[in-house]
Amino acid sequence: MNPRQLQAKLKPSRALALAVLPLALAACAGPSITTPIDGEPVCPDFQVGAAHTKMGGGLRFPVQVTIKKSGTAVFKTTIVGRRTDKDLPSRVLLTDDDQKYTVEWAQCENERAPSPVDVSGRDTKSTAKYECGKSEPYQTTELTTTKGDAKSHALTFPPPPNTVCSTAPATSAATPDAGAADAAPESTDAAAEDAGAGAAAAATDAGTASDVDAGDAGTGDAGTGNAGSDAGAQNDAGASKSK
């Protein structure tokens, strides 16, 4: 076998060795570790509409966490908050190795629309996927992991500038006017006073009418008595003349 043939035979072996080298280095790093994020906020469910549709609670403006190594993003996830304190928190996945990372916490500029809790029988393919939009980091931290130490992968959620949870929209039902409510008793009292005044006036009129009738009756009787006296006087005069 001449040298040229030997060199051609060795080329595939060299290419294979170069391809296997990164895998060997990765194998030395160990398997990836899944670590929960501590301190994720809880946003309870709420109901909307006449049907009382139950909506899953969550941060109105979610938080995006990005983990970088040497300026290159190696992991990214969006945190929307847990519905209850019993729900599993968000988690990160990093290689079990001695590494230094930069962790960026940024709040999304887009508001997240809540979705119904029960989606059975509904077509979720047409549901628009949430887009975080522009996000500026509000906190940047350093993370140093140690191979074989899962606790070194732990992350704690820093509260974002806006921690408001999604809630049911305010109802537009009209509320009773407090001024009208206050005026109602006054109107009632005024009506009662008018009724009392009317009754008093009627009683006064009745009393006046009774006095007038009584006065007229007395006058009539007196007139009758005077007429009798006049008649008696005339009779006495006639008798004197006859004598």
How many CA atoms, within 13 angstroms, populate the side-chain half-sphere of residue 213?
Answer: 6
User: Quick one: tokens of 108?
Assistant: 């999304």
Q: pLDDT grade, residue 169 (50/70/90)?
A: confident
Q: Distance between CA 31 and CA 144 in Å, rounded? A: 17
pLDDT 10s digits, 63-98: 999 999 999 999 999 999 999 999 999 999 999 999
Average pLDDT over residues 20-41: 76
Contacts of 138 (CB under 8 A, 6+ apart): 105, 106, 107, 158, 160, 161
Pairing of strands 155-156, 32-38: parallel
Look at the domain 29-119+128-156 and name its fold: Immunoglobulin-like (2.60.40)
What backbone torsions phi and psi does residue 57 show, to the nearest 5 degrees? -75, 155
Mean pLDDT of 191-216: 48
Mean pLDDT of the chain: 73
Arithmetic mean of pLDDT, 148-175? 85
Query: Where do the DSSP E strands lie in the chain?
Result: 32-38, 46-48, 53-55, 63-69, 72-79, 91-95, 99-108, 135-145, 155-156
Q: What is the pLDDT of residue 125?
A: 57
Handedness of CA 147, 148, 151, 157 (dihedral sign): positive
Q: Model's pTM, two decimal places?
A: 0.58
The answer to whether the CB of 168 falls within 8 A of the CB of 56 is no
Helix-strand-coil percent breakdown of the chain, rounded to 5? 40, 25, 35
